[in-house]
């Protein structure tokens, strides 16, 4: 383990309060817990990496890295749509 259980819980709590939620969380059903970190450089790249925790179990990590898109909104939409597709394919039914 890279950190203590208390440190891991603290890091997850911080990542769960992310304020930029146009990517992974936007593609999930309302109320699905996600701890994630976004990153971007102007209109060059937009990234989002997160731990998604469906209520029925089967949590997973999703990382989406984009580049070369001319509009931020296109990158947000791409990450959102991928998040939705992965959740639909991976998350167990409640």
Rounded alpha-carbon distances, angstroms, from residue 74 to 10, 22, 71, 77, 78: 32, 11, 5, 5, 6
Quote the radius of gyration of the chain (alpha carbons, Å).
14
pLDDT digits (tens, 9 = 90+) for 30-87: 999 999 999 988 777 899 999 999 998 889 999 999 998 888 899 999 999 999 999 9
Number of domains in the chain: 1
**Residue showing tokens 């990158």:** 75
Within a 10 A sphere around the Cβ of 70, how many other Cβ atoms?
A: 9
Mean pLDDT of the region 26-33: 97
Q: Give the domain range for residue 53.
A: 5-90
What's 19's domain CATH number?
3.30.160
């Amino acid at each position: 383990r890279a950190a203590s259980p208390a440190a891991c819980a603290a890091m997850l709590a911080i990542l769960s309060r992310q304020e930029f939620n146009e990517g992974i969380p936007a593609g999930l059903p309302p109320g699905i817990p996600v701890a994630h970190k976004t990153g971007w450089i102007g209109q060059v790249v937009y990234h989002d990496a997160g731990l998604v925790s469906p209520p029925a179990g089967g949590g997973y990590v999703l990382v989406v890295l984009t580049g070369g898109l001319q509009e931020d909104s296109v990158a947000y939409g791409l990450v959102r749509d991928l998040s939705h597709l992965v959740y639909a394919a991976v998350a167990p039914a409640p």
